[in-house]
Amino acid sequence: MSTWKNTWSLMKFRKGYVIGTIITSIGWLLSRFAVSFGIQEIIDILVGETPFLALDMRTLFIIVPFIYVSTFILGSISDIVLWLFYISGEVLIRRNLMRGLLQKPGAQAIPTTTGESISRFRGDVTHAVNLAHRISIRLGFVVYAVITLSYMFYISWKATALIFIPFLMILAIGLLERKRINELRKVRRKATAE
């Protein structure tokens, strides 16, 4: 089974964990942004500028600590969901691998080398579960990026554009070097299997 099919089947089988990861990551990232935004509102009031929201100082001093505690709670819940997803996903994949090995007759079940079989049970399982988790958590990062970018453009579109020029250069270099990185990864996997 290919990595993508394996990852997709794990995500379909563990829908609750995937949905929990998406929700907790969005909540955790947005609450972190809300704390920063609340502190900025307090500073704007203190220096005499017009705040973005029409809240007074007393309301902000009540809301910001509550949001900060909520950030900690959402981060803790996100960690619990993450580890439950990892543990259950690794156990599920290892069990299915062992079941597949035991159902095949004789030498067909055993990989070509000992290193390859250890790699499948140790590394490949972890990477498949990690990929499934990373895919599910990206939605939270996308929502967070859209909100923070829109706020950055609201503050200063020139400064935001100046920040993104080096970012886009790094992204272009990474995309251009992807083929070389994949070749090096294949060589490393081959060396590990021997």
Which band of pLDDT confidence, cut at 50, 70 and 90, is reported for residue 77?
confident
Q: Percentage of the chain with pLDDT > 90?
A: 3
pLDDT in tens, 109-139: 555 665 666 666 666 677 777 777 788 888 7
Q: H or E stretch including 168? A: helix 157-176
For 106, which DSSP code?
A: G
**Residue 95 in tokens:** 């069990």
Which band of pLDDT confidence, cut at 50, 70 and 90, is reported for residue 108?
low
pLDDT for residue 102 is more than 70: no
Which band of pLDDT confidence, cut at 50, 70 and 90, is reported for residue 85?
confident
Q: What is the mean pLDDT of the chain?
A: 80
Residues whose CB is less than 8 angstroms from the CB of residue 146 and which lie 6 or more positions away in sequence, other chains included: none
Query: Roughly how many angstroms between the first and final C-alpha of the chain, as a whole number?
Result: 22
Give the pLDDT of residue 140.
77
Cα dihedral: 86, 90, 138, 2 (round 10): 180
**Residue 77 in tokens:** 């819940």
Query: Which position has the higher pLDDT, 102 or 96?
Result: 96
